[in-house]
Amino acid sequence: MRPFIYEQPTDISAAVAIASRFTTKDDQPTRANAQFIGGGTNLADYMKLGVAEPGRLLDLNRLEDPGLRQIRVTDDGIRFGALVRMGEASDHAEVKRRYPVIADSLRLAASGQIRNMASLAGNILQRTRCEYFRETSWHCNKRVPGSGCAAMEGFNRQHAVLGGSDACIATYHGDFAQALIALDAVLHAEGSRGARKIPFAKLHRQPGDTPHIETDLAADEIVSAIEVPAIEWARRSLYLKIRDRESYAFALASAAVALDLDGDNVREARIALGGVATVPWRARAAEEALQGKKLDETSAGVAADAAFAEAQPRQHNAFKIELGKRTLVRALLEARDMEV
């Protein structure tokens, strides 16, 4: 691990100021010399492995604004402070009642210990666990731009079939993000150029030719809150996560779904897919395929085909297309049958 300077700012503007001083406008947050740390469950790991090498670490856990640690339920929806821990959000009674998909996505992620440490903002900004990214002796365009991608022709069982490029097929492994993108969440961020709102769907960037650019955030920008709009029918929502073992494993495929039903007919569907894409993945084609249709195994299958129409398999991950479709079908049917 590279030695680093550790600071504990107590308010966001101070944190932003320090970050601004030690980064430039063009720095990527993941590659900047000064980086923010929340729960540390991802960044500390990558620092030990030499994947992340910040020279200055700004610990956000001493920020004094109480709103950063609160979950506020209002008529407009729900607002999560950025430092709320995953476990707090997944256990929150109103979250569970109003947005089962959010509670599920957090409950099924990581382990109890990690959920108690990891912050929500850190969770959505977690980086890929691609084996070739994690270990510095492999070629990786995301870690070292232009060095090549060892995963492309390597052991790529866990890699993405959606949203990849010739430069990178690393999966976005988060679960919570799938719920957020499905529910049209909005982020609040503060940086040296002021405060702004970012639609969650605009946060992550597909790899394209620049897989080292992972998000829309500037290096001195801090996510302060996550807002989910009020969606009355989101009570009919769930997150289905399929993995090799029962707990503490990343999704091979997952689906976040929320349904507005009129009897068995779909007024509106929200669908996001995890474990199969390079970024949090909203499956709009699948949503459209279901709109106005009776939801049954056949229509769910048509929607699943639409969701994966553009999928690009590699040698070891081709099964994810079929698995992803089945996961979505099962999630839709289980959501349809929910008692709400």
Instruction: Give the residues lining the site for another protein (CB under 8 A).
Output: 1-3, 49-50, 129, 131-132, 134-137, 150, 153-155, 157-158, 240, 242-249, 252-253, 319, 322-323, 326-327, 329-330
What is the distance between the terminal CA atoms of the chain, rounded to a whole angstrom?
50
Closer Cβ to another protein, 56 or 205, answer by number: 56
Nearest to 280 by CA among 218, 191, 212, 199: 199
Tell me the two tokens of residue 80: 């999560």
Residue 218 or 306 with smaller CB distance to another protein = 306
CB of 155 to another protein, least distance (A): 5
Q: How far is the CB of 227 from another protein (least distance, A)?
A: 31
Nearer to another protein, 26 or 339 (CB): 339
Residue closer to another protein (CB basis): 158 or 299: 158
The 253-262 sheet, strands edge to edge: 237-242, 253-262, 265-274, 281-282
**Separation of alpha carbons 253 and 242, rounded Å:** 5
Closest to 279 measured CA to CA, from 183, 208, 197: 208
Inter-residue contact 56 to 22 (CB < 8 Å): yes
For another protein, the closer of residues 74 and 137 by Cβ is: 137
Q: Which two tokens stand for residue 202?
A: 């605009």
Name the minimum Å distance from CB 270 to another protein. 20
Residue 244 CB, nearest approach to another protein (Å):
6
Q: Considering the complex, what minimum distance in angstroms separates the CB of residue 79 from another protein?
A: 32
